[in-house]
Amino acid sequence: MEEGLLWTTLALMAVASVLAPVAGSEHVKKENVEESLEAIHDVATKSLGSLCVTEKFRSLSVPLATARFESARQKADLVATLLQDLGVAHHNGLQGAVSKNLLVSDQSVLSARVLTMNATSGTLINCAWWQRQGLEVGEPRKLRCDEFLETGHRPPSEYPWYEDAGSSPSLHSPKFMESLPNVSYKGWWTYPYYSCKSRRWLISYSVPIPPPGRGGLKGFLSLDVDVSHLEVNQCEPTTPIPTNSNEISVFHGTHKCHNSTSQCLYQAQTASSNWSRGKYLCVCRPGYYSPHYDGVFNGTLVEVSWQNREENTSEGDSWSTIFQCRKCAPGCHSCTDPSPCLATYHWPFRITLLVFSVSCALCTMIINIYMFKHRKLKVFKVASPIFLSITLFGCAIMYMEMAAIFPVLDAYSCIATKWSRHLGFCITYTALLMKTWRVSLTYRVKSAHKVKLTDKQLLQWMVPILLVMLIYLGTWTLSDTPTAEEIVDNEDLRFKQCVYNWWDHSLAIGEVLFLAWGIRVCYNVRNAESLFNEARLISYAIYNIAIVNILMIAFHLFIFPRAGPDIKYLLGFIRTQLSTSVTVALVFGPKIIRVLRGLGDQWDNRARSRGVTASFSLNGIGLVPEEAPDLYQENEELKEEIQKLAAQIEFMKIVHMEINNRHVKPKSGGYFTTLNAPTVVHSPLSRQGCLLSKAPEEL
């Protein structure tokens, strides 16, 4: 009965594939893995003489993937079948020789043995040892059958390939690995163990050889496979795992590095006949450093320190102090000390500049409201209030650029920076340029027919320019969203700045050409006179915008190429103030001063003295009324024309009188009298030709 139970329960475990985890490996207890690592460490560090005095082998308690040895297992099963048919008592025959040659032909098999015992008493009857040819030369010495005869004809139970006599009939000895569910073999695999005889790490496969009859002899075939070439890699596995990997998967992830601050780097084994614990390096992760060992820790020392910590020894603190990396200063990708890597932002200084810029933006809105309230005054009315409002709106947008570049730059702030800078410039500059362009067309006309350009017509020219800018900025934002990049200052401290690419360069070229056209228009109207001298002031504003932008680009590229974030913020503030604030001061300052002095509704006497009319003013008021005719404005123009005609009539009367009455002498202080001139009477015809040759503004 006992014998029947023995042979009916011999089908045990194996592994499904090379890459798949060992059967039940996901259920391997952590303490079993640590015990196995400690055993590996003992074998690698202790003297083999002291280790093997009391032990024949040192077994581990973790399974090993055996699918790579499937060929050896299949040959062992075949040999067991041959020996079963022949009977183990006659294993020295032809089948025995075939079986021996079949096993030793496998390169992974180190040695094999057949043990024949009495089924009842367990007495060793016969044994045969098969070893690979030329494998064991010298040490380790050849195993002999008489070693077991000295122990009472019973194989010592210390050998993992021998089934304990006192084990249960199911043969589920702790020396054998558990099998996979729904997978069974004729034999079973032992846990990996270190053999003191072979001086190698082995794993044995045992398959029973049932007796040919119901009674008699029982036996089993066992073969040893050398697994010393496998690697104990305690680091995390690579993804995907190479198909030819020799790493033992059960030890993956068992390193003792601080995962949050350091990473494990495996050091390949140099000795193929031995396993080692701690064959790795703990290297500080990017953004971390350590003042000890330059941030590279030997895995063996880390393992010992961790073990001391688990045992609560006095040296256990080193694992959390010496072998733990420290975080770098904020923003550092790599470092060797706690020195800062990011540039410092002086927030009180930046807040002061921001508050001033926002206050300027609010002032533009206040000026706009003030102008709307006094829009019927001549000083505002002849300057096209709608274009003045557009100019103020563009200036307010340019001021808000300081709010966009105030924080630590990111994608959103860079988008706001590009839009506020370029859109604000386009709105302000286009509004001023349209007014100046109208003066240029009016001033250069040589025909008697007056050029008629109303505000509505200028707006129709202005809208396409703004539409082109909006389309460009929108396409830029959607297709290649502006982002922030890290740059370094003079002290190699990093900070973020918006990326400058071909989008910026293309737009800069377009704006330069736009500025060049504006400068040319301003140059053409340099001698033009307008009411309240507005044409000249706007020309000065356009010149100022061009000069300031060119100078600030030169400052950024040549003088302060590696300036810090606060210096760059200051340069942006200076550029905004010199271009925007000066423009507001030039265009609106004189007008507001006239209104405050009570002269806002009076004509500019200086321009009037030079013959400048409302029709020749900056915006051409009175040329073609956009709304109902302004009778007051028409009356003023008619008065001007009548005064001119009266002066010309008076002049002609005097000239004709002089011609017809040549005996009449010029009166002192008369029209034709000059200071300290001789009393000689000149011909009126010659004087008339001289006067008519003069320009109207010189009269």
| Pairing mode of beta strands 280-284, 262-266 | antiparallel
> Taking residues 220-233, what's their average pLDDT?
85
Q: Distance between CA atoms of 543 and 673, rounded to whole angstroms?
A: 45
When mean pLDDT is compared across 82-91, 325-334, 364-373, 407-416, the lowest value belongs to 82-91
Half-sphere exposure of 646 (CA within 13 A, CB side): 6
* pLDDT(355) > 90: yes
- Once rounded to an integer, what is the mean pLDDT over residues 29-33? 82
- Residue 279 CA, distance from chain mean position: 34
Write out the H or E segment, with its range, that includes residue 643. Answer: helix 631-660
CA 169 distance to own-chain centroid: 64
Mean pLDDT of all residues belonging to the chain: 74
**Whether residue 141 has pLDDT greater than 80:** no
pLDDT band (50, 70, 90) for residue 15: very low
Highest mean pLDDT among 442-446, 479-483, 611-615, 648-652: 479-483
Calculate the alpha carbon distances from 640 to 318, 613, 615, 636 in Å: 100, 8, 11, 6
Helices (H) and strands (E) in the chain, counts: 21, 14
Give residue for tokens 């010592």.
156
Measured in whole angstroms, the distance separating CA 379 from the mean position of its chain's CA atoms is 54
pLDDT tens profile 498-556: 888 899 889 988 888 888 888 888 887 776 666 667 777 888 888 888 888 888 888 87
Secondary structure E strands in 426-567 = 484-488, 494-498
Buried b (16+ CB within 10 A) or exposed e, 59-91: bbbbbbbbebbeebbebbebbbebbbebbbeeb
Mean pLDDT of 225-250: 80
pLDDT for the residue 467: 94
**pLDDT over 90 (residue 590):** no
Q: Is 2-226 CATH 3.40.50.880?
A: no
Minimal CA–CA distance to 170: which of 11, 331, 279?
11
CA distance 569 to 582: 19
Indicate whether this model's pTM tops 0.75: no
From CA 40, how far away is CA 32, in angstroms rounded? 12
Q: 158-172, 253-267, 407-421, 638-652: which range is least confident on average?
A: 158-172
pLDDT confidence bin for 317, thresholds 50/70/90: confident
Residue 626: pLDDT band (50, 70, 90) is: very low
Confidence of residue 351 (pLDDT cuts 50, 70, 90): very high
The pLDDT of residue 143 is 46
Q: What is the pLDDT of residues 157-201, one digit of tens each?
A: 556 766 554 444 344 566 777 766 555 667 888 888 888 877 888
DSSP 8-state symbol, 231: B
Mean per-residue pLDDT, 547-574? 84
Q: What is the pLDDT of residues 452-466, one digit of tens each?
A: 677 788 888 889 999
Q: Give the pLDDT band (50/70/90) at residue 366.
A: very high
- Domain 347-616 is classified in which CATH homologous superfamily? Rhodopsin 7-helix transmembrane proteins (1.20.1070.10)
Q: With contact defined as beta carbons under 8 Å apart, do 195 and 202 qualify?
A: yes
Residue type at 453 in one-letter notation: L
Task: Band the pLDDT of 377: cuts 50, 70, 90.
Answer: confident
User: Of 475, 496, 317, which Cα lies nearest the Cα of 405?
Assistant: 496
DSSP notation for 312-367? T-GGGGHHHHTSS-EEPSTT-SS-SSS---BPPP-HHHHHHHHHHHHHHHHHHHHH
What CA–CA distance (Å, rounded) separates 638 from 630? 12
For residues 586 and 541, give the distance between their C-alpha atoms in angstroms, rounded to a whole number: 7
The per-residue pLDDT for 174 is 66
Among 311, 109, 68, CA closest to 204: 109
pLDDT band for position 573 (cuts 50, 70, 90): very high
Q: Which residues pair with 203 in a beta bridge?
A: 225
Hey, where are the domains in the chain? 2-226, 255-327, 347-616, 632-698
Inter-residue contact 115 to 219 (CB < 8 Å): yes
Q: Is residue 675's pLDDT more than 60?
A: no
Residue 399's pLDDT is what?
A: 93
pLDDT of 131 above 80: no
Three-state SS at 175: coil
